Amino acid sequence: MLSKCKFYLSHIAKIGIIITCIFALSASSSKIEAHTTNKNINKSVDLSTMAIYINKEEEQKANEEALQTYLWGSLDSYTGDLTGYGANCALCTGFLACTGADVRDGTDTYIDKTYGEVRIVASSKNLPCGSIIRFESKRISEDPIIAIVLDRGVLGNDIDLLTPSEEYAYNYVGRSSITYDILRFGWEK
């Protein structure tokens, strides 16, 4: 019987050691948790935040697409003749009719606050000053040409493209029939 007691005592001792180890491990992990603090205890989490963020991204994308359509969408189209002219032409003063700017130095572009650097054209009063047009002429450029109406002296739907000189106009623009899109009617208010 004494040997059975020793056997049970040794097993009880082993179980006691195991329990002590488990208790010690759980106590040590409690100490680790006791040292960490959660600074967000009293704050709530809004689960709809991600949905709002996604909706704002979609809204921003839609706004950008609307802006591109607004800027580059055609309001109307006209067909007329395209010719080139230089500020030094026989009937030219060298000053733009819409702004009075002196272009005798060869200037043929204008910086528009919305469209950036654009070419300068003359038109009839069918197009108000500040109108933005887009047309294609492979003789002048492989890309579509964006221009602003800053001069007068043309009839009907014809357009005259300002060039650095009359020689340049004759050699590189010539005369051709084009269809052009109106991107903006007149100056922005």
107 inside domain: yes
pLDDT tens-place string over residues 6-42: 555 565 666 666 766 666 655 555 444 445 565 655 6
CB 158 within 8 A of CB 124: yes
Q: Which residues pair with 149 in a beta bridge?
A: 121
64 inside domain: no
172 inside domain: yes
CATH number at residue 168: 2.40.40.10
Q: How sure is the predictor about 109, in pLDDT bands with cuts at 50, 70 and 90?
A: very high
Domain count, the chain: 1
35 inside domain: no
Note the pLDDT of residue 72.
81
CB 161 within 8 A of CB 149: no
Separation CA 66–CA 10 (nearest Å) = 83
Note the pLDDT of residue 36.
57
pTM: 0.66
CB 89 within 8 A of CB 162: no
For residue 154, give its domain range: 74-184
22 inside domain: no
pLDDT at 161 over 90: yes
24 inside domain: no
122 inside domain: yes
Tracing tokens 């960490």 back to the chain, one arrives at 36
112 inside domain: yes
pLDDT at 52 over 50: yes
pLDDT at 118 over 80: yes
pLDDT at 69 over 60: yes
CB 160 within 8 A of CB 133: no
Note the pLDDT of residue 188.
64
What are the b/e assignments for 163-181, b being 16+ CB within 10 Å?
bbbbeebeeebeeeebebb
